[in-house]
Structure 1
Amino acid sequence: MNMELTPAEQKQENIRKVCEKELENLNEALLDIGITMHDYTKQREPIVQERINDLVNRFRVIDNIVSELDIMVPYDVINYLENGKNPDLFTRDFIERAAAENHFTKGKIAAHKDFYNILKEELNSTFPEDMKIYDNNLEESSKSGN
């Protein structure tokens, strides 16, 4: 299914892609600083300062991009990240909970249908004349749209 995006959605998609690319660049900059600091000597101080300035600039670029981005992140996902967990676990847990609730609700609906059918059978056997009137009224009201 190929859905066309509105101009506003397309703009947000483009901004999101730019933000992803800048986050990848930030990740590389952090890795570079880590490598530089691992082999740190006094002579490498200008390189460290350059890398830190690059990092600050990358944060500035990301901050500017994010101000244009309109994405809602669930608080639970942020908690997962802060606790060092993979946010995909949140998605998996959410889907599992939704499936379990779906299954439970489906069971309740089936139980209500079974109860309705049993009740209708019992009422038909106990009050056959009244149930014929009820069924006729029900049929007429469904035809008239009420």
Structure 2
Amino acid sequence: MAPVSQPDHMVVEQQLRDVIQDLFQIMVQVNSYDTATHSSNTVLQNSVKTLHSSLLKIYKTANNPTVNLPHIPPELIQYVDNGRNPDIYTREFVELGRKGNQLMKGKKEAFGSFRDVLAEEMCNVFPEMRSDVEMVVKATGGDVAKLPVPKEEVAKKEN
């Protein structure tokens, strides 16, 4: 997620404050609504129109491709809508990531171990393929020094 620029953040923050203020005004108008007077009706209509224009501003800002806003996963929005704490969602997400990383690390180590055993057996059974096996072991991050020494080299060192 790219960082949100300060001007974009301030614009959206102000627009949200405007919407909250408009909602508060509507709450006050509804609470003090008097069916006998025509002025209450007009004031409430104007408050609803103001809320509508404030919501349109936020909508246009959110859909503007030049505005850099953070992406919030829909799962997180659903989580918060269900009345749960977003910090718990983040903690669960991090724990799942950690478990996935541990699983991948285990797989990587298992495949590395399998590579080393296979390379050793290949060198023992097919000594003529040693250079190819070394090339594959190097390319996959293995240690060529762990491969067994060819029998010819052992015999040369003994003589």
Identify the TM-score tier after normalising by the shorter chain: 0.5 to 0.7
Matches within 5 A, 1:1-146: 14-28=7-21, 30=23, 50=43, 53-54=46-47, 56-70=49-63, 71=69, 72-124=71-123, 126-127=124-125, 129-135=127-133, 138=135
Residues 77 and 87, structure 1, Cα contact 8 Å, conserved in 2: yes
1:84 is paired with a residue of what secondary structure?
coil
More helix by share: 1
Structure 2 counterpart of 1:129, one-letter code: P
Task: Report the TM-score, using the length of structure 2 for normalisation.
Answer: 0.54
2:84 is paired with a residue of what secondary structure?
coil
Task: Report the TM-score, using the length of structure 1 for normalisation.
Answer: 0.58
Q: 1:66 to 1:106 in 2, by over 3 A?
A: same
Question: Offset of 1:23 from its aligned partner?
Answer: 1.7
Q: Please, which runs of 5 or more residues in structure 1 have no aligned partner? A: none
Point out the structure with max Rg over C-alpha.
2
The size of the alignment, in residue pairs, is 129
Aligned CA RMSD, in angstroms, stands at 3.9
Q: Identity of paired residues, percent?
A: 23
Question: Offset of 1:27 from its aligned partner?
Answer: 3.3
Residues 80 and 86, structure 2, Cα contact 8 Å, conserved in 1: yes
